[in-house]
Amino acid sequence: MLNEKPHASAAPAPQKKKQSLISAAFDYLEIFVYSAVIIILLFTFFTRLTSVVGPSMQDTLFENEKLLITDIGYKPKHGDIIVYHELGYYNEPIVKRVIATEGQVVDIDFSTWTLTVDGEVIEEDYRKVDNGYLVTSDHNFPVTVPENCIFVLGDNRNHSSDSRDSKMGQNGFIDTRQILGKVIIRLFPFDRFGPVR
């Protein structure tokens, strides 16, 4: 009869379970670290977070909503909602809607609330006007948007300081170098999470 060699004793089950738990913990830690690095890089180089201040964009955006914006490859165009920094007028980022870009002609008929850009009437389903009147302007319309500038308006027209006010930006026009980015998504509140238009 052949002599049977004794089998090497297997590691006790509790020790295997402990090693498995440690391995799983390291896997989760690695996923967490990679995710944190990606989020930090995303917010440092590609996007930024900002808050809505004031009522000027109601009912599209409301005070204290959190927005994700980006300026990567961004070129302003009509209808975009942007965030810009107004030098010397406000200390916080300002959220407005782009109405026209350089070279375009803007006209506002304050008796009918009609907005035209380059002679074309702009349908504004987002516009909010209350109290039966529209805050007017110290500009003589029509106006032509200067080079490297944009003309912006708040959606809540009676409660918005915007390009109708010659004290804003450069005689009411916003220098494109002041643009921090285009709004791409509303992050908070969660029940309004999603793209903004």
Q: Which residues are catalytic?
A: 56, 96
DSSP of 87-138: TTT-SS-EEEEEEEETT-EEEEETTTTEEEETTEEPP-TT-B--TT-----S
DSSP of 145-175: PPTTEEEEE-SBGGG--STTSTTSTBTTBEE
Rounded Cα distance, 100 and 106, in Å: 7
Mapped onto helix, strand or coil, the DSSP state of residue 74 is coil
Q: In the structure encoding, which two tokens stand for residue 167, read together?
A: 């004290």
Cβ(117)–Cβ(105) under 8 Å? yes
